[in-house]
Structure formats: structure tokens, C-alpha cells
Amino acid sequence: MPTYRDSKVKHLQIKRLPPGVLGEAYAVVCANHISNQQYEGEVYILAQRTQPRLHVDMFAFDASMVPENLEKIDLDYVLTEGDWRAEQLIFKLLCQRAKELNAPHVELLDPEISERPIPPFVSCWVGNRFIEEIREIAKQTESGPLSRYLTALMSTITYTNNGAST
């Protein structure tokens, strides 16, 4: 899978939900400039409940199809679209969890989704959380910066909760 240098990555934290709904949860949004006027977005949601899971959304924009006086399609535009898609995916997950828990009020929860100043991956990796999900993001991403970061991370030692290395 090709990786693109011209890329932006944003890390989001999903807070203000009861622990049993999604558990520890994060989102990663990537915007990639593929070629000329072609852009691609990637959204990854990591959620702990009912078991660690990765939820993915990929999308693309052809800037030549949108008049510049209407919208300027660039990395920032794609990143903003990715934020919106992450939010929609989180609400979809809340609806699924509401059905699983037989708790309709879960659909009405209003999580706080905020940008993280640092990626969540180091603490997750060292704490032995979301290991397979992080590996899957590394396989799927076409973002050069995210791919390099995760490759470097995965070359480190992981630790189980009892401190034994793996």
C-alpha cells in the first residue's frame, strides 16, 4: 500500500461517556494528498467495549469536480470532513451499543470529542491495549507520517499488565 508524505493526522479523544458504553475510546483522522487534485481521508475509531475493536471509514475527494469558488478542497478540508465522519461513526457506535445493552438512552448520550495534543498509541501499546487494532491501522493507513510513527512504535517492547515483556 503506498504511503503519502503530503498528509495531516489528527488524534481525538472520546470522553464523557459511561465506562460501559464504549470504554476507552480514541479516533484518528488522516488527510492524504494522493496526486494533483486527488485527496483521500481515513478515519479510525478504537473502542474498548465490548471488546477492543477498530472501526474504519475511508473516503476520497476529486478536487477537480468541485468549483474552487464553492469550496477549496485541500488537506484541511479533508481533515475537517474526517472529523465530521468520525463524529458520525461514534454516534453510529452509540446506537449499536444502545441495542446491545437494551438501553435506548445510550443513543442520546452526547460524548465530548476533543483533539489530543499527543497520540494515544504509546500508552496503549506499552499498556498492552489495542495491540491488534494498532497493527491493523499500520497496515491500512496511507498516511506517511502515521505509518512511520506506528512502525517505530511497533518495533518497541510491549508490556503486559503484570510487567512481563512480550
Q: For residues 75 and 56, what is the distance between their CA atoms, to the nearest angstrom?
A: 19
Q: How many domains does the chain have?
A: 1
**Dist. CA 125–CA 150, nearest whole Å:** 10
pLDDT per residue over 133-147, tens digit each?
999 999 999 999 999
In a domain, 165, yes or no: no
Q: What is the mean pLDDT of residues 41-61?
A: 95
- 93 located within any domain: yes
Residue 74 lies in a domain: yes
Query: How far is the C-alpha of 91 from the C-alpha of 109, rounded, in Å?
Result: 9
pLDDT digits (tens, 9 = 90+) for 74-129: 999 999 999 999 999 999 999 999 999 999 999 999 999 999 999 999 999 988 99
Please report the pLDDT score of residue 156 as a whole number: 83
76 domain residue, yes or no: yes
Cis bond leading into 50, ω under 30°? yes
User: Does residue 158 lie in a domain region?
Assistant: no
Q: What is the dihedral of CA 33, 137, 56, 99, to 10 degrees?
A: -160
Domain extent at residue 42: 7-118
Has residue 127 been placed in a domain? Answer: no
Q: Is residue 155 in a domain?
A: no
Please tell me the predicted confidence (pLDDT) of residue 1: 60
pLDDT, the chain, mean: 92
- Between residues 145 and 1, the one the model is more confident about: 145
